[in-house]
Amino acid sequence: MNEILKKLSQELLSGKEVAELFDNPKDFPIKLVEDLSIETALNYWNEKTDFENGDCIMNNLQTFWVTN
């Protein structure tokens, strides 16, 4: 999960690019998206990630959610 978060925090990606990070699942990976969202929130709360990286992660997850 940390490797995915690292890649999601580096730049804004398309929904297709995020799907590739998730190994192009056939079914929507709702549990993974929820876990990544919670981990991002906790990391931000505990000051393990800054606003810009957390924002980038959440924007990428939202783009994936909307386009899939």
Mean pLDDT of 14-43: 96
3-class DSSP assignment, residue 19: helix
Per-residue tokens: 15: 């929904």
Does residue 68 register a pLDDT over 90? no
* CB 29, CB 22: distance < 8 Å: yes
pLDDT at 54: 97
Which pTM was predicted? 0.92
Backbone angles phi, psi at 12, to 5 degrees: -75, 130
* Distance of alpha carbon 40 from alpha carbon 46, whole angstroms: 10
pLDDT of residue 63: 96
Pair 62, 34: CB distance under 8 Å:
no
For residues 54 and 68, give the distance between their C-alpha atoms in angstroms, rounded to a whole number.
Answer: 21
| pLDDT above 90 (res 48) | yes
